[in-house]
Amino acid sequence: MARLNADNEKRARDLIALYPESRSSLIPMLHVAQEQDGWLMPDAIAHVAELLDLTAAEVYGTASFYDMFFTHPVGRHLVSVCTNIACLLNGGFELLEHAEKSLGVSGGGTTHDGEFTLEEVECIALCGEAPCLAVNWRFFGSVTPERFDTLMADLRSGALADEVPPHGTLCRVRRSVGLPAAATPESVTGPEVPSAPGGGRPQSPGTT
Amino acid sequence: MAEQTENKPDTVTITLDGKRVTAKPGEMLIAAAERAGVYIPRFCYHPRMRPVGMCRMCLVEVKGPRGFGLAPACFIPTSEGQEVVTTSPTVKKAQDGVLEFLLVNHPLDCPVCDKGGECPLQDQTVAFGPGETRFVEEKRHWAKPIALSDLVYLDRERCIQCDRCTRFADEVAGDPLIEFVGRGDSIEVNTFPDQPFSSYFSGNTVQLCPVGALLARPYRFKARPWDLEQVESTCTMCSVGCRIAVQSSSNELTRYLGVDSEPVNHGWLCDQGRFSYQYVNSDERISSPLVRKGDELVECSWGEALAATAKALESAKAVHGPGAVAVLGGARLANEDAYAWAKLAKGVLGTDNVDAQLGDGLPAELVLGLPRATIDEACAASAIVLLAPDIKEELPVLYLRLREAAVDKGVPLVELTPQSTGLSRYAKASLSYRPGEAALLAKALVDGATGDVAGSKAAAVNGARALLGDNPVVVLGRPSVAESAASITAAAAALAGLPGVRFLPALRRANVMGALDMGLAPGILPGRVSLDAGRDWFSSVWTTLPTGAGLDAAGILSAAAEGRIQALVLLGADPAADFPDRQLARQALAGAGFVVAVDAFLTESSRQADVVLPAAAFAERHGTTTNIEGRITSLGQKIVPNGVSWPDWMIAVELAARLGTELGFETVEQVWDEVERVAPSHAGITCALLADRRFRDGVTAPLGAAPPAITGTGSAPAPRPALLAFSGEAPAVSLPPLDAYSLRLVSRRTLYGNGTLVQHAPGLAALAKSPCARANPSDLDRLGMGKGGQVRVRSNRANFLIDAEPDPGVPRGSLSLAFNSVDLEGSDAGALIDADAVVTDVRVETP
Dihedral class, residue B777 (left if φ above 0, else alpha if ψ from -120 to 50, else beta): alpha
Asked, for residue B674, whether it belongs to a domain, the answer is no
Asked, for residue B148, whether it belongs to a domain, the answer is no
Between the alpha carbon of residue B596 and those of residues B121, B312, B321, B360, B550, the distances in Å are: 54, 9, 18, 22, 19
Within 8 A by CB and 6+ apart from A88, the residues are none
Task: With CB atoms and an 8 Å threshold, state whether A61 touches B191.
Answer: no
Chain B residue with minimal CA distance to A69? B182
Per-residue pLDDT at B826:
67
Chain A residue with minimal CA distance to B186? A65
Asked, for residue B442, whether it belongs to a domain, the answer is yes
Q: Which residue of A39, A60, A67, A68 to mutate against B (max B Cβ within 10 Å)? A: A60
Between the alpha carbon of residue B39 and those of residues B17, B29, B94, B117, B710, the distances in Å are: 12, 11, 16, 19, 33
Per-residue pLDDT at B333:
96
Per-residue pLDDT at A107:
84
Q: Which residues in A lie closer than 8 A to residue B181 (C-beta atoms)?
A: 60-61, 64
Any idea what the CATH number is for the domain that residue B400 is in? 3.40.228.10
Task: With CB atoms and an 8 Å threshold, state whether A61 touches B181.
Answer: yes
Angle of the A26-37 helix axis to the A56-65 helix axis, nearest 10: 80
Sign (positive or negative) of CA dihedral B425, B427, B432, B435: negative
Amino acid in position B521: A
Out of A42, A46, A58, whose CB is closest to B176? A58
Any idea what the CATH number is for the domain that residue B91 is in? 3.10.20.740
Asked, for residue B790, whether it belongs to a domain, the answer is yes
Assess A61–B contact: CB distance below 8 Å, yes or no.
yes
Contact yes or no for B266/B282 (Cβ under 8 A): no
Contact yes or no for B614/B286 (Cβ under 8 A): yes
Between the alpha carbon of residue B468 and those of residues B52, B472, B821, the distances in Å are: 35, 6, 35
Q: Which residues in B lie closer than 8 A to residue A64 (C-beta atoms)?
A: 181-183
Backbone angles phi, psi at B326, to 5 degrees: -140, 150
Q: Are strands B631-635 and B623-626 parallel, antiparallel or unpaired?
A: antiparallel
Task: With CB atoms and an 8 Å threshold, state whether A45 touches B195.
Answer: no
Q: b vs e for B63-75, b when ≥16 Cβ sit within 10 Å of the residue's Cβ?
A: eeeeebeebbbbb
Assess B179–A contact: CB distance below 8 Å, yes or no.
yes
The secondary structure element, H or E, covering residue A85 is: helix A85-89
Distance CA B255, CA B834 (A): 41
Residue count (chain A): 208
Out of B177, B181, B195, whose CB is closest to A64? B181
Q: Which residues in B lie closer than 8 A to residue A58 (C-beta atoms)?
A: 176, 179
Any idea what the CATH number is for the domain that residue B839 is in? 2.40.40.20
Distance CA B618, CA B638 (A): 9
Task: With CB atoms and an 8 Å threshold, state whether B179 touches A58.
Answer: yes
By 3-state DSSP, what share of chain A in percent is helix, strand and coil, each rounded to 5?
Answer: 40, 10, 50
pLDDT digits (tens, 9 = 90+) for B611-644: 999 999 999 999 999 999 999 999 999 999 999 9
Chain A residue with minimal CA distance to B166? A58
Per-residue pLDDT at B721:
85
Q: Which residue of A43, A58, A67, A68 to mutate against B (max B Cβ within 10 Å)? A: A58
Q: Which residues in A lie closer than 8 A to residue B194 (C-beta atoms)?
A: 42
Per-residue pLDDT at A187:
45
pLDDT digits (tens, 9 = 90+) for A162-208: 999 999 998 888 766 666 544 444 444 444 544 444 333 344 443 33
Out of A42, A58, A59, whose CB is closest to B193? A42
Sign (positive or negative) of CA dihedral B417, B421, B423, B425: positive
Does the pTM exceed 0.90?
yes
Task: With CB atoms and an 8 Å threshold, state whether A45 touches B175.
Answer: no
Assess B175–A contact: CB distance below 8 Å, yes or no.
yes
- Ranges of residues in chain B with a pLDDT under 50 are 1-5, 706-717
Assess A54–B contact: CB distance below 8 Å, yes or no.
yes
Can you name the residues that pair with B253 across neighbouring β-strands? B248
Asked, for residue B388, whether it belongs to a domain, the answer is yes
Question: Closest Cα of chain B to A55: distance in Å?
Answer: 7
Question: Closest Cα of chain A to B477: distance in Å?
Answer: 30
Can you name the residues that pair with B743 across neighbouring β-strands? B842
Per-residue pLDDT at B358:
95
Residue B144 CB-density burial (10 A; 0-12 exposed, 13-18 middle, 19+ buried): middle
Between the alpha carbon of residue B220 and those of residues A150, B147, B178, B248, the distances in Å are: 58, 12, 20, 14
Asked, for residue B347, whether it belongs to a domain, the answer is no
Q: Which residues in A lie closer than 8 A to residue B176 (C-beta atoms)?
A: 54-55, 57-58
Task: With CB atoms and an 8 Å threshold, state whether A57 touches B178.
Answer: yes
Q: Which residues in B lie closer than 8 A to residue A56 (C-beta atoms)?
A: 192, 195
Assess A46–B contact: CB distance below 8 Å, yes or no.
yes
Residue count (chain B): 847
Distance CA B790, CA B782 (A): 15
Asked, for residue B86, whether it belongs to a domain, the answer is yes
The count of structural domains within chain B is 3
Q: b vs e for A9-27, b when ≥16 Cβ sit within 10 Å of the residue's Cβ?
A: bbbbbbbbeeeeebbebbe
Q: What is the DSSP string of B339-406?
A: HHHHIIIIIII----EESS-SSS--HHHHHHSPB--HHHHHTSS-EEEESS-HHHHSHHHHHHHHHHH
Task: With CB atoms and an 8 Å threshold, state whether A56 touches B195.
Answer: yes
Q: Which residues in B lie closer than 8 A to residue A46 (C-beta atoms)?
A: 192
Beta strand extents in chain A (DSSP E only): 77-82, 116-121, 133-135, 138-140
Residue B95 belongs to domain spanning: 12-103
pLDDT digits (tens, 9 = 90+) for A98-145: 999 999 999 889 999 999 999 999 999 999 999 999 999 999 999 999
Assess A64–B contact: CB distance below 8 Å, yes or no.
yes
Q: Which residues in A lie closer than 8 A to residue B189 (C-beta atoms)?
A: none
Say whether B472 sits in a helix, a strand or coil: coil
- Residue that is last in its domain, among B83, B103, B123: B103
pLDDT digits (tens, 9 = 90+) for A54-110: 999 999 999 999 999 999 999 999 999 999 999 999 999 999 999 999 999 998 899
Complex prediction ipTM = 0.89
Q: Which residues in B lie closer than 8 A to residue A55 (C-beta atoms)?
A: 175-177, 192, 195
Distance CA B599, CA B608 (A): 13
Q: Find the angle CA(B360)-CA(B366)-CA(B368) to the nearest 5 degrees.
A: 100
Assess B191–A contact: CB distance below 8 Å, yes or no.
yes
Asked, for residue B597, whether it belongs to a domain, the answer is no
Assess B161–A contact: CB distance below 8 Å, yes or no.
no
DSSP alpha helices (H): ranges in B156-247? 164-167, 203-208
